[in-house]
Structure 1
């Protein structure tokens, strides 16, 4: 033993070269890690100096086999040699002060009690071991255990194995077999569950918690050797299949192993029996083991029930991530997606991607991302127990084939010949580009007896036929409608509803498409973001549809306004929303609601894409304000939206609105002067109304005559507006006693059909007194 470390006492010195100390010198505090000791006055006795120790030396000897693990808040160190150690040197050292040492035969057991689990590390040094508090920026060491099947048992390789020591766990009373090692041999980070035993986390050596009296652990050639005693024992070598890293979620948290059903059933029976035999206060871990065994058998409902009882008796279990994960996975497999939200947490790391992906797929998350996660975890399924694998593998394969990238789909090749993978095969064929073959496969599967297969296949068949033009959009919409009930039962309702919305949009049934989208978002709130583009497109068409108020379709106009108003806030601010709001405003204007129309125009104005559109919207806003008798606001709207670069048509429209505002304010001459050179229809109409209001009938005949010349056809029927324009010109000419104009007008349009009332008025206006006297004389 090196100089200075010959006494059988714990030493608080550092792991620096011990030869630098004087032989027989008293143990010293590691001043490199204790700043408070350095600040004490030099005149003080060394015993009175404050000491905060971060590492200690354990004089266990060079050839001793050592194991170390946590038991509750106690850190246990086991040595396969008897070493009498005095712990007085640790008194007053803070973290390591509460220590006990006992020797039993040729075994030494040291226990350090902490107020809470503290990150520690152990390193071998000449003459013993260093136990130290691990730095915050350092990660703990743990092993990848790969057991080797040998001589009917399992060999867990270890460097220079020591004796296997049997002790009782101080915290739980479990029977432990501690496989010690002479050299540094860190154990696993998480528990690993096996048939009849568990491997516990350890800092040094391996710790086996034995559940079956038939399991034996002994020192072997090159490590710890496990075997089963008795003819009826299940060989432990079966647990070596698919050996993986110890922190793997599938094994450590879910208890999944590629064992045959008989072994799984026996494992569940053993663990359930063990849980039942434990006293109530000690059943927590046993129940967790039984829940894992039930889950591995594919009985997620039983696993969920066992976990519920365990958590009810011991609520603290719900705080453990492994318990939370197992409970969420059980809920997911049982069909309760809402109860599985804990799977969305990436805390489980890369090994939890399969379950994160399956949760995302079933909960309606991003399908491409879900497929990628499922593809990453798909190889894990090969080491799953057959009952559980049979439940979820076809579903996962189908989802990857449907939504995954080329790289994702590569993990599926080759697909098993099993008919359960026929739907995945059809999607693989579709993604490969063989449309006709894929359509034939989907059409065949649409009559499958399994509803979860038939509904998806039928939905795909409708979509492919619609895309290929083999059916009309209305036929596809009707087909999707018929599928809805079965889709709800099969868990494929969302996809069918998406197809229905698309088909209705293609038919031009925009109100129906919006109702279908509302139904989808009510049932699947997570779809609100995904459906935003369709909602925007539907609202754009509803806003652009020209439905005149007072027509037979006025009810449709009211419905369109209500739909736009109730959905427009779902659209993000931008030019598209501005167009929708402007369309809404025009419809409100058509319904005789200029005040509401003005509000909609005001909301649309800041969303204009350029100055020209802003000027156009400003003009419409001003007109709505004028119609609502808000002349000051109309003037402000025109002033704030001027655009010197506006084209001639827009400039004319704004000029007419400005002139109309002047006329409303009483400045008719100024309004007329503003429009004097403008010969647009709107300008002629307004100039004619101004002259009519001023009773300047001859001038009004000239202006309205030019408007009639532009808008009344040479021959053919007249629509209602054209008939009204003809009567207007006739009225102005009659008031101006302009019989030449009346004669020309009578010859031009007099022979064309008008409504009875308009015909009577027009005839009365264009008939001169001389004509009336001549008709009377001829009648006599």
Structure 2
């Protein structure tokens, strides 16, 4: 059984590599990186591999830790061995050709093609600290021990063909050029590390992450089995790097993290610091790299991220929010701004975005927005990046331009971006409950925000959650700060707990302060609470809200106050005033037109179907209602309610003498009827309007097209009367009378009486009109004009046939009641018999 060290030596020798100990004995890699091919036969017997097999690579490549391409798969063109003698040595930094043994030890004939290699073993040892990161399209591995290795055997190994090993003092630097970032992975194995392509068949494993710790005036980045910190210039950019290594797997994160004077780069293994300031010092600490600031007046280094470096955090990565002091924030912005100004025009995108994030963290949203707009104008491709979109939208939102922040309306898959979406919905007037829930999820994160943003956003978020959140959302608030900025939230919490009197007192105290926002909020909420407690009427509340418009406009609350005023007007039943208030609001806030359709629908429904639209409503009021309804009817959706509004509008149009327009409204209403019964009723009303407009053919067609055998008896009777009236106007009065013979409804009796009167059948007319009068005339009390006319009509019919019995009863029943002078004269003349007239004249009674 081989030991771990023996296994590492065996694999290294089979691969054509050697350890530093071999270099000391005259074989392997020199300190300058030169090497020579080590023949398998020259290795010690205990570590020599079996002879090379089919495929052309040494047998070591086929062990557990190295996986060739699937059987039968041809190697890439780059793996075809060149016709170069096997003893040719490579120069420093260039891989040597990998020509297999021709059989001196095994007698196996070499094939022309080699299988593609997907993973290789790096014999770096168990105690060597290692880090790995991407420098553009080159993967860089840093080892904190000078482990010499021979890369000649990898010449034709496909993805690892250009691997280079370079000794730098007491460290080893391994570089692997590839076609793209992220195509390689690094994992720990006994005796070293495995470098594999992304589609290699390595076993899945969990990688721990790094959680920074504030300590001794700096920040410690603890890692398991931490190695040394290696200084290195980035091969691509030349940036000054300080690389923390570890002998165990640990991830340095997946995103760039900007700090004052330095950055943390993404790292597959270990942690990589890109140091910009001479005042930033990175050294090996107790358990990992330790970073602090040196020199007088240096901005202090703080742990600006409480979670692990492996988090892909929206606030951290996209917005650059860290809990730095105001001085540190200003210094960070100064550095970022300077870097952006000094960068070449074609390379300013990144520095500009970094400067925008720094300005945003300072609370200067307008400057951040201006910088982002300039960067996107010069490089339009930046606009499509999610991080840039969020930064631009958040900066617009905090600048007061809610419309430009509409990108925040779309849900972000990251839960840590919920706060900004919730803040957008809250300020844009969206779903309040949803906005409060999103704010509650993100509220704890505000504690880690920079002080300027925290002081600006935390009281606002707490107030909104307290006012609109669910019981579960309220738990996110915890114990509120005693700062007076949180007094509005405390007042809403009193209200949520049912203490309306206490809440009213709290809001009235806010109304007496000097802070414009708190004064407006206190006044607004006090009006609403007084209305709930019935200390003021809805009309008084509406007036109070109107007086608050100007102050609400100054603090961005005008829309909410206008909505409260409209609700108060509707509660007061002031439908016309409420509709005028909606029109006024929409002129100030045009985007509210569609949002107010339900209120407009309710108002129009009340304007057209209120119970006092009869005798108690003046003609001018009806005309005003008709004008308002016609000008707003297109703002509401096509529903049954809209059909009812149109039918009510038709009634009003007929009342002011516009039967043709009434018919048009009813034609639109028919298509919105909920069922055949309602359609039959509206069809009858349409036929009546057509009759009034002298459109008899259309009236007949309206009846035919809306017929319903299952309609209620009153609807059937109404339709029968209309049909009989049409028949009479067409010359069929007898047929009409026969159609109505069994119908005792008021409308049927009225029409029968008129038809009989037209035929001069006064006795029959007296009987029919008498039955109608019995129903319509009250036993006592004053008579309306229509009732007076009905009494005179009955008296006239009875007088024509000298039906003094009817006239006497009518005189005794109606004679003592007040009528208009002209009607009284006619009625008295009709019901007075000659004998009665004689007695009156002679003074006898």
Shorter-chain TM range is 0.7 to 0.9
Of 709-718 and 27-36, the range deviating more from structure 2 = 27-36
5 Å-filtered alignment, 1:396-407, equals: 396-407=461-472
1:399, distance to aligned residue in structure 2 (A): 0.8
The answer for the alignment partner of 1:68 in structure 2 is 132
1:65, distance to aligned residue in structure 2 (A): 4.3
Distance between the aligned counterparts of 2:436 and 2:183, measured in 1?
38
Residue 276 in 1 paired to residue 341 in 2? yes
The answer for the alignment partner of 1:6 in structure 2 is 15
The answer for the alignment partner of 1:85 in structure 2 is 151
Verify the 8 A CA contact 1:375 1:409 in the aligned structure 2. yes
Of 557-566 and 356-365, the range deviating more from structure 2 = 557-566
**Shift in CA distance, 499/154, structure 1 to aligned 2, threshold 3 Å:** closer
1:761, distance to aligned residue in structure 2 (A): 5.3
5 Å-filtered alignment, 1:163-178, equals: 163-178=228-243
Distance between the aligned counterparts of 1:344 and 1:111, measured in 2?
43
**Shift in CA distance, 504/736, structure 1 to aligned 2, threshold 3 Å:** same
Residue 57 in 1 paired to residue 110 in 2? no
1:574, distance to aligned residue in structure 2 (A): 4.7
Residue 542 in 1 paired to residue 607 in 2? yes
1:372, distance to aligned residue in structure 2 (A): 1.3
The answer for the alignment partner of 2:185 in structure 1 is 121
Verify the 8 A CA contact 1:68 1:77 in the aligned structure 2. yes
Distance between the aligned counterparts of 1:67 and 1:470, measured in 2?
72
Distance between the aligned counterparts of 1:731 and 1:290, measured in 2?
97
Q: CA offsets per residue over residues 349-382 of structure 1, 9 Å max, x none? A: 1111222211111111111111111111111121
1:448, distance to aligned residue in structure 2 (A): 1.8
18, 37, 56: which is aligned to 1:26?
Answer: 56
**Shift in CA distance, 452/101, structure 1 to aligned 2, threshold 3 Å:** same
**Shift in CA distance, 187/241, structure 1 to aligned 2, threshold 3 Å:** closer
**Shift in CA distance, 711/752, structure 1 to aligned 2, threshold 3 Å:** same
Residue 588 in 1 paired to residue 653 in 2? yes
Of 541-550 and 670-679, the range deviating more from structure 2 = 541-550
5 Å-filtered alignment, 1:156-167, equals: 156-167=221-232
356, 360, 364: which is aligned to 1:295?
Answer: 360
**Shift in CA distance, 37/606, structure 1 to aligned 2, threshold 3 Å:** farther
Q: CA offsets per residue over residues 232-270 of structure 1, 9 Å max, x none? A: 43443x236745554222222222222222232333333
195, 216, 226: which is aligned to 1:130?
Answer: 195
Distance between the aligned counterparts of 2:546 and 2:187, measured in 1?
70
1:706, distance to aligned residue in structure 2 (A): 3.0
SS in 1 for 2:173: strand
**Shift in CA distance, 421/59, structure 1 to aligned 2, threshold 3 Å:** closer
The answer for the alignment partner of 1:14 in structure 2 is none
365, 371, 390: which is aligned to 1:325?
Answer: 390
Distance between the aligned counterparts of 1:135 and 1:595, measured in 2?
82
1:688, distance to aligned residue in structure 2 (A): 1.3
554, 558, 570: which is aligned to 2:623?
Answer: 558
Verify the 8 A CA contact 2:423 2:435 in the aligned structure 1. yes
Distance between the aligned counterparts of 1:337 and 1:665, measured in 2?
67
Verify the 8 A CA contact 2:646 2:665 in the aligned structure 1. yes
Distance between the aligned counterparts of 2:528 and 2:798, measured in 1?
64
**Shift in CA distance, 271/704, structure 1 to aligned 2, threshold 3 Å:** same
Verify the 8 A CA contact 1:149 1:155 in the aligned structure 2. yes
Verify the 8 A CA contact 1:423 1:453 in the aligned structure 2. yes
575, 581, 585: which is aligned to 1:516?
Answer: 581
**Shift in CA distance, 176/544, structure 1 to aligned 2, threshold 3 Å:** same
Distance between the aligned counterparts of 2:50 and 2:346, measured in 1?
51
SS in 1 for 2:548: helix
SS in 2 for 1:362: helix
The answer for the alignment partner of 2:79 in structure 1 is none
**Shift in CA distance, 514/134, structure 1 to aligned 2, threshold 3 Å:** farther
**Shift in CA distance, 686/74, structure 1 to aligned 2, threshold 3 Å:** farther
Distance between the aligned counterparts of 1:48 and 1:664, measured in 2?
107
Distance between the aligned counterparts of 2:781 and 2:213, measured in 1?
100
SS in 2 for 1:718: coil
Distance between the aligned counterparts of 1:291 and 1:232, measured in 2?
25
Verify the 8 A CA contact 1:143 1:188 in the aligned structure 2. no
Verify the 8 A CA contact 1:367 1:403 in the aligned structure 2. yes
SS in 2 for 1:239: coil
The answer for the alignment partner of 2:754 in structure 1 is 689
1:224, distance to aligned residue in structure 2 (A): 2.4
Q: CA offsets per residue over residues 282-323 of structure 1, 9 Å max, x none? A: 333333333222222222222223333333333333332222
**Shift in CA distance, 549/240, structure 1 to aligned 2, threshold 3 Å:** closer
Residue 364 in 1 paired to residue 429 in 2? yes
SS in 1 for 2:251: coil
Distance between the aligned counterparts of 1:693 and 1:547, measured in 2?
35
SS in 2 for 1:335: coil
317, 323, 331: which is aligned to 1:252?
Answer: 317
Distance between the aligned counterparts of 1:54 and 1:596, measured in 2?
86
Residue 223 in 1 paired to residue 288 in 2? yes
Distance between the aligned counterparts of 2:374 and 2:382, measured in 1?
11
452, 455, 458: which is aligned to 1:390?
Answer: 455
Distance between the aligned counterparts of 1:118 and 1:595, measured in 2?
76
Verify the 8 A CA contact 2:131 2:143 in the aligned structure 1. yes
Pair member with larger Rg: 2
SS in 1 for 2:731: coil
5 Å-filtered alignment, 1:570-589, equals: 570-572=635-637, 574-589=639-654
The answer for the alignment partner of 1:310 in structure 2 is 375
SS in 1 for 2:620: helix
Of 124-133 and 319-328, the range deviating more from structure 2 = 124-133
Q: CA offsets per residue over residues 663-694 of structure 1, 9 Å max, x none? A: 23332222211211222221111001212333
SS in 1 for 2:622: helix
The answer for the alignment partner of 1:700 in structure 2 is 765
Verify the 8 A CA contact 2:299 2:327 in the aligned structure 1. no
Verify the 8 A CA contact 1:300 1:331 in the aligned structure 2. yes
The answer for the alignment partner of 2:99 in structure 1 is none
Q: Extract unaligned runs of 5+ from structure 1.
A: 10-18, 39-44
SS in 2 for 1:343: helix
**Shift in CA distance, 23/36, structure 1 to aligned 2, threshold 3 Å:** closer
The answer for the alignment partner of 2:44 in structure 1 is none
Verify the 8 A CA contact 1:54 1:133 in the aligned structure 2. no
Verify the 8 A CA contact 1:242 1:257 in the aligned structure 2. no
Verify the 8 A CA contact 2:142 2:172 in the aligned structure 1. yes
1:530, distance to aligned residue in structure 2 (A): 5.8
Q: CA offsets per residue over residues 701-734 of structure 1, 9 Å max, x none? A: 3322332343344565432212322343354456
Distance between the aligned counterparts of 1:437 and 1:358, measured in 2?
28
SS in 2 for 1:32: coil
Distance between the aligned counterparts of 1:643 and 1:139, measured in 2?
73
1:413, distance to aligned residue in structure 2 (A): 3.2
Q: Extract unaligned runs of 5+ from structure 2.
A: 1-8, 19-47, 62-66, 77-109
Of 243-252 and 77-86, the range deviating more from structure 2 = 77-86
TM-score, normalization: structure 2? 0.79
Of 312-321 and 187-196, the range deviating more from structure 2 = 312-321
474, 485, 488: which is aligned to 2:550?
Answer: 485
TM-score, normalization: structure 1? 0.85
Q: CA offsets per residue over residues 155-194 of structure 1, 9 Å max, x none? A: 3223344443434445544322233334332220212222
Of 537-546 and 171-180, the range deviating more from structure 2 = 171-180
Q: CA offsets per residue over residues 378-408 of structure 1, 9 Å max, x none? A: 1112122222211121111111111111221
468, 471, 484: which is aligned to 1:419?
Answer: 484
**Shift in CA distance, 135/446, structure 1 to aligned 2, threshold 3 Å:** farther
